[in-house]
Amino acid sequence: MAKISELLPRSAIVLDLQSKEKFEVISELVRPLLATGAITDEAEFVSAIVRRENMESTGIGLGVAIPHARTKAVASIVLAFGRSDSGVDFSSLDGKPSHLIFLIAAPEEQKTEYIMTLARLSKLLRKDEVRIGLNKAGSPDDIARVILQHES
């Protein structure tokens, strides 16, 4: 199974998210993924993500959110990352805004890989040193390095 760092293209790392609202943030993160070819139908993918966001709180607390969807509009598992200084409301149970946002797109038929990717990323992001590293990182390469360094 691919590592988190291998699923996150440098081109899909946004260090300074401009959007303040969660669905705008999601669109901002989907945009760079279109160029990778992993998302084959933008409208269908965004619709799947929005449907999930309306059913679930993908904010997992500690300033982290992981919006995600598994749909036919995705050809292969891919991640995007965005950082927001002001924070975005992802309806976290702890009531706090999310500053570190990872978006996961997965093909419909890859349920096991999708669940494993979500689980590994959630575990990773609960580590204080990972969140501190991601908050301090000055470039997409730094972000990739932080993730790679802490992946087991």
For residue 31, give both structure tokens: 């945009």
Q: How far is the CB of 121 from other proteins (least distance, A)?
A: 9
Tell me the three state secondary structure of residue 97.
coil
Torsion 91-92-96-100 (CA) sign: negative
* 95: region left, alpha or beta (phi > 0 left; psi from -120 to 50 alpha): left
Beta carbon nearer to other proteins, 17 or 48: 48
107 in Cβ contact with 78 (< 8 Å): no
Of 65-104, binders to other proteins (CB under 8 A) are: 70, 91, 93
CA distance 73 to 19: 24
Q: Which stretch binds other proteins (CB under 8 A): 20-28, 36-44, 82-90, 107-115?
A: 107-115
Q: Indicate whether 30 belongs to the interface with other proteins (CB under 8 A).
A: no
Per CB under 8 A, the list member of 60, 73, 103, 105 interacting with other proteins is 60
CA distance 96 to 72: 32
Q: How far is the CB of 15 from other proteins (least distance, A)?
A: 26
Q: Indicate whether 22 belongs to the interface with other proteins (CB under 8 A).
A: no
Q: Indicate whether 115 belongs to the interface with other proteins (CB under 8 A).
A: yes
Torsion, CA 104, CA 127, CA 64, CA 135, rounded to 10:
-100
Beta carbon nearer to other proteins, 61 or 140: 61
Q: Which stretch binds other proteins (CB under 8 A): 18-26, 82-90, 119-127, 130-138?
A: 119-127
Pairing between β-strand 98-107 and β-strand 64-65 as defined by DSSP bridges: parallel
Binding-site ranges for other proteins (CB under 8 A): 52, 55-57, 60-61, 70, 91, 93, 111, 114-116, 118-120, 122-123, 126, 152
